[in-house]
Each structure stands twice: as structure tokens, then as C-alpha cells.
């Protein structure tokens, strides 16, 4: 091929590439760079423009596993359990977390969606329990999810607490079994060892002990709702 032929061949190649470039955008489908309803970020159905309800500012925060950690469980209060159960979560991150839109589940029948704002401050705790009223005998419950049957009852021997983010991710779960390696007693909370404050470590019964802190109720129940757990 002579030089002229070579040059025209290169031009033809460039033209083909140009046409191909015009036919698609510069990133992954199915979005594009224009100002229509989609764009080049990764969030589906939103864009970078200023139209309300579809820009990037409205995307809910995304959470990773371990963004919250279940650190204490009071599944068996002295005497009747009604209105007095609770569990504690810890936020190890640098941002406060609002539990609105989060879901509590177990592996069986219970399913509870949190529909109001419940703040878990960075580096701090929140206590979720059956009641914020005096039926709980003074327990500092931050959010009441209701009583047995209409709430999130905690089995005294075997049960699970599963925390799901608004996107449906299991951020943490604990499946406890009083006849296995998890401790169990009436009137004492299950307390996670401070050295095991991690969403994997709290799956292991040997990282939990019966709390000797408190008492936190007039009945003498032992635990540390809303406060750091003592060493096991
Ligand atoms: Ca119970
Ligand atoms: Ca009881
Ligand atoms: Ca876990
Ligand atoms: Ca505690």
C-alpha cells in the first residue's frame, strides 16, 4: 500500500471509531452524559441535575455490614417479660445513623419496620425495647417497638435479632441459643465482651456473658442499657 492509501485507510479507521463513539457513551450502559433522566453516576434512576426527587442528594445513605453492632440483649427480665425486653446497638462509625427505614427480623415470624427517626450517635449506643413507658421499670429505652405479638418479642432461650438497612442489607445479626454457647439467665442481660465489639465476633456465644452491671430496674435486673458493657 502506498502512502496515500495508508493515510486514507487510517482516516477510514478513525471515522469508524468516531461513528462508534457517537453511538454510545463513555461509560457503562444504560446511562449517558446528557441531561435527560439518566446520567453517568452509578445510582439508578437519579441524575446530577437540580430536579427535585431525582438528584444525588436524595439517595439514601448506604450502609455496610457492621455499621451497627448488637452489643447487649435483655431477653428474659425478672418475672413477666412483657414490656421490659430490649436490646442495645452500637455505632462504631464516624457518622450518626438514623434507624428510620430499618427493619428488625428473626429467622421465623417476627418482622418490624422502624418508621420514625431513631438516632444512634457516632461512637454511642441506642436501646431498642418493647416500651418507653414505666412498664419497663426505668429502663432507658430510646425507641419502643411494642409489646409481644405486635412488636419484636425476644425468645428466652433461642431467638435471633437481624438488623436490616433500608436497602435490605443485613448489617448485623445475632442468633443466640441458651442451651448452646450463649449464656442465659432470668434478670441478667446477655452482654457482649467489649473486646468483641464486631459484627462477626458477636455471632459467637463465648464472646458473651451474663451482665453484672446495674441494676437498671427496680426489680434488680442487671445490665448496662445505653452504656459500655463491663468486661466479661
Ligand atoms: Ca423473653
Ligand atoms: Ca422472665
Ligand atoms: Ca453478627
Ligand atoms: Ca451496654
pLDDT greater than 90 at residue 207: yes
- The H or E element containing residue 141 is none
Closest ligand relative to 126 C-alpha: 4
Q: Are residues 134 and 20 in the same domain?
A: no
Q: Residue 171 falls within a domain, yes or no? A: yes
Q: Are residues 44 and 89 in the same domain?
A: no
Q: Are residues 81 and 127 in the same domain?
A: yes
Q: Residue 149 falls within a domain, yes or no? A: yes
Q: Residue 194 falls within a domain, yes or no? A: yes
Q: Are residues 41 and 88 in the same domain?
A: no
Q: Residue 51 falls within a domain, yes or no? A: yes
Q: Are residues 129 and 185 in the same domain?
A: yes
Q: Are residues 51 and 74 in the same domain?
A: no
Q: How many angstroms does the Cα of residue 87 sit away from the middle of ligand 3?
A: 14
Identify the pLDDT of residue 33.
47
Q: How many angstroms does the Cα of residue 25 sit away from the middle of ligand 1?
A: 57
The per-residue pLDDT for range 35-77, each reduced to its tens digit, is 445 444 555 555 455 555 555 556 778 899 999 999 999 999 9
Q: How many angstroms does the Cα of residue 1 sit away from the middle of ligand 4?
A: 81
Q: Residue 224 falls within a domain, yes or no? A: no
Q: Are residues 82 and 50 in the same domain?
A: no
Q: What are phi and psi of 185, to 5 degrees?
A: -165, 150
Q: How many domains, the chain?
A: 2
Identify the pLDDT of residue 109.
83
Cell of 21: 463513539
Q: How many angstroms does the Cα of residue 216 sit away from the middle of ligand 3?
A: 25
Identify the pLDDT of residue 224.
98
Work out the percent of the chain whose per-residue pLDDT is above 70.
Answer: 74
pLDDT confidence tier of residue 170, bands split at 50, 70 and 90: very high
Quote the strand ranges of the chain, DSSP E.
69-74, 86-90, 97-98, 103-105, 111-113, 119-120, 125-129, 143-144, 158-164, 170-177, 190-192, 208-210
Q: Are residues 93 and 182 in the same domain?
A: yes
Identify the pLDDT of residue 108.
81
Q: How many angstroms does the Cα of residue 6 sit away from the middle of ligand 3?
A: 65
Q: Residue 133 falls within a domain, yes or no? A: yes
pTM of the predicted model as reported, rounded to 2 decimal places = 0.76
The per-residue pLDDT for range 132-157, each reduced to its tens digit, is 999 999 999 999 999 977 899 999 99
Q: Are residues 132 and 91 in the same domain?
A: yes
**DSSP per-residue letters across 193-226:** -GGG-STTGGGSGGGEEE------STT--B--TT
Identify the pLDDT of residue 51.
52
Q: Are residues 50 and 114 in the same domain?
A: no
How far, in Å, CA of 224 to CA of 213, rounded? 6
pLDDT confidence tier of residue 219, bands split at 50, 70 and 90: very high
Q: How many angstroms does the Cα of residue 82 sit away from the middle of ligand 2?
A: 8
Q: Residue 142 falls within a domain, yes or no? A: yes
Q: How many angstroms does the Cα of residue 71 sit away from the middle of ligand 4?
A: 6
Closest ligand relative to 204 C-alpha: 3
Q: Residue 75 falls within a domain, yes or no? A: yes
**Domain coverage including residue 29:** 1-58
What CATH number did the domain enclosing 97 receive?
A: 2.60.40.1260
Q: Are residues 28 and 80 in the same domain?
A: no
Q: Are residues 180 and 73 in the same domain?
A: yes
Q: How many angstroms does the Cα of residue 147 sit away from the middle of ligand 2?
A: 14
Q: Which residue has cell 473486646? A: 195
Amino acid at each position: 500500500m502506498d502512502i496515500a492509501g495508508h493515510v486514507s485507510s487510517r482516516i477510514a479507521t478513525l471515522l469508524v471509531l468516531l461513528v462508534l463513539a457517537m453511538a454510545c457513551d463513555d461509560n457503562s450502559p444504560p446511562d449517558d452524559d446528557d441531561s435527560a433522566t439518566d446520567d453517568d453516576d452509578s445510582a439508578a434512576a437519579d441524575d446530577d441535575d437540580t430536579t427535585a426527587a431525582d438528584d444525588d442528594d436524595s439517595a439514601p445513605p448506604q450502609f455496610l455490614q457492621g455499621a451497627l453492632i448488637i452489643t447487649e440483649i435483655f431477653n428474659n427480665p425478672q418475672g413477666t417479660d412483657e414490656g421490659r425486653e430490649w436490646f442495645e446497638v452500637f455505632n462504631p462509625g464516624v457518622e450518626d445513623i438514623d434507624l428510620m427505614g430499618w427493619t428488625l427480623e428473626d429467622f421465623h415470624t417476627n418482622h418490624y419496620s422502624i418508621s420514625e427517626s431513631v438516632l444512634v450517635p457516632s461512637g454511642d449506643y441506642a436501646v431498642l425495647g418493647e416500651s418507653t413507658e414505666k412498664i419497663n421499670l426505668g429502663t432507658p429505652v430510646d425507641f419502643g417497638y411494642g409489646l409481644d405479638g405486635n412488636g419484636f418479642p425476644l425468645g428466652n432461650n433461642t431467638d435471633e435479632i437481624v438488623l436490616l438497612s433500608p436497602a435490605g442489607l443485613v448489617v448485623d445479626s445475632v442468633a443466640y441459643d441458651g442451651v448452646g454457647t450463649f449464656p442465659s439467665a432470668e434478670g441478667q442481660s446477655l452482654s457482649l465482651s467489649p473486646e468483641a465489639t464486631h459484627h462477626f465476633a458477636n455471632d459467637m456465644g463465648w464472646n458473651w456473658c451474663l451482665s453484672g452491671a446495674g441494676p437498671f430496674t427496680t426489680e434488680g435486673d442487671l445490665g448496662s442499657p445505653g452504656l459500655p458493657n463491663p468486661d466479661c
